[in-house]
Structure 1
Amino acid sequence: MMNKQARSGWWEGLPEGIRRQIDGYVLQDASMAAIRLVAEIGFVPDDIGVATATAIVSDRYAHYGDRVARAPDTPIDQESLVRRVDGIPGRIAAIEAVWDGDTVHDWFVRLLAIAEDPPVEHPLALIHWTMAVRHLGEDERVEGRHPAGVVAQGVGAELAARLAVPFHFASPDTPDDEAPRWWH
């Protein structure tokens, strides 16, 4: 993979139109489209694979910082979560937290309401690193755990208790997208 200086040089060598298109995707928080474009235009002539394309797009995200139009965080306060659950038809059998991941947020937790009849999972919130750190505050200690897991454990357990249903989080301390699910 290219180092930062080589990536910067590669970026500067691109035609202005391609740079504007990639930056347009970045500014719209469409990282996958930006990564795909970098890989498409860089693979054959420059041997740029997905890892390097991801690093180049990450550099552009860092360049723009707060100017990127990020999707708003899903609310994780109890009142909002209860209101979301109230909109689900049928009886809720459990609240579940499940690890997932992508190239933008790395590991994150999906908080779900599991309906009983029909047995369907309903998304309630996505809890990623930066959102979790904001929720916890800078002084909160997580003892080496992923902040998203800490927040999901607390918020999910509290919601389940309010609803008087079980809470399931098979791997609260370590990201694991293959951990056993509640309803499988």
Structure 2
Amino acid sequence: MTDDAWERLPEGIRRQVDGYVLQDRLMYAVRLVWETGRAQGVGLNLAQELVSLRYEHFGDRVARTPDSPLDLESLAALASGIRARVVAVEAVWDGDTVHDWFVELRAITEDPAGEHGLATVYWGTGARALEAEGADPGPLDPHAAAATRAGTALADHLGVPFYFASPEVPDDEAPRWRDRPATP
């Protein structure tokens, strides 16, 4: 069925989809397949499957988005470039239709108040980082475990607290560092 659906797409559309895949622009490719294939019965699930097969077809030729660095030296360099006083390092769950759940490492600042992205930790990023360190994720998913390790190391280096409201369960509505209950 997938070969048929792919072949029914016009050649120009197939070439454009392959271009998006080679650039690792998954959502553009899926949207194009879905919108142009809808008249032939291509639903969203089939569009995702077709694009996934194109990713498999191209393999290492896909220009993948590089992993965010999670080593202390790189994170410390990123934090040192922030023009505000870092008061905490926070890990926050987020998600999208491309990557599912992922963890954002952020520097929380004051003077002025704000937050600054330091790293995005996808499942694969976390698994690769833990494997490179020979570390066990324990009960956490790899992206949560790697974010916790990297965030804790950076917070210790900076002498500030590390905060991750929900490391065990993805929750993009978990209390944030600034919203946490005050401790006596």
Corresponding residue for residue 42 of structure 2: 48
Question: C-alpha distance in 1, partners of 2:107/2:142?
Answer: 21
What percent identity do the matched residue pairs reach? 54
Do structure 1's residue 93 and structure 2's residue 100 form an aligned pair?
no
Question: Larger deviation: 20-29 or 48-57?
Answer: 48-57
Q: Which runs of 4+ in 1 moved over 3 A?
A: 138-141
Q: What's the CA shift for 1:126?
A: 0.8
* Cα RMSD (Å): 1.7
Alpha-carbon distance in structure 2 between the residues aligned to 1:88 and 1:177 = 25
Q: 1: distance between equivalents of 2:54 and 2:172?
A: 28
Confirm or deny that 1:168 pairs with 2:160.
no
| Matched letter for residue 26 of structure 2 | S
Contact 2:88/2:108 (<8 A) preserved: yes
1:140, distance to aligned residue in structure 2 (A): 4.5
Q: What secondary structure is seen at the aligned counterpart in 2 of 1:137?
A: helix
Q: Distance in 1 between matches of 2:97 and 2:75?
A: 26
2:13 aligns with 18
Q: Distance in 2 between matches of 1:181 and 1:49?
A: 37
Q: Is the 8 A contact 1:146 1:175 kept in 2?
A: no
Q: Which ranges of structure 1 fall in alignment gaps of 5 or more residues? A: 1-5
Name the aligned partner's letter for residue 125 of structure 2.
Answer: M
Going from structure 1 to structure 2, the CA distance change for 1:135 and 1:75 (only over 3 Å counts) comes to same
TM-score (norm 2): 0.89
- 8 Å contact from structure 1 (residues 113, 121) kept in 2: yes
Hey, what does 1:30 align to over in structure 2? 25
Name which of structure 1's ranges 67-76 and 54-63 shifts more when overlaid on structure 2.
54-63
Determine if contact 2:17/2:32 at 8 Å carries over to the other structure.
Answer: yes
Amino acid at match of 2:19: G
Structure 2: unaligned runs, 5 residues or longer? 180-184
Kindly tell me the number of residue pairs found equivalent between the two proteins. Answer: 178
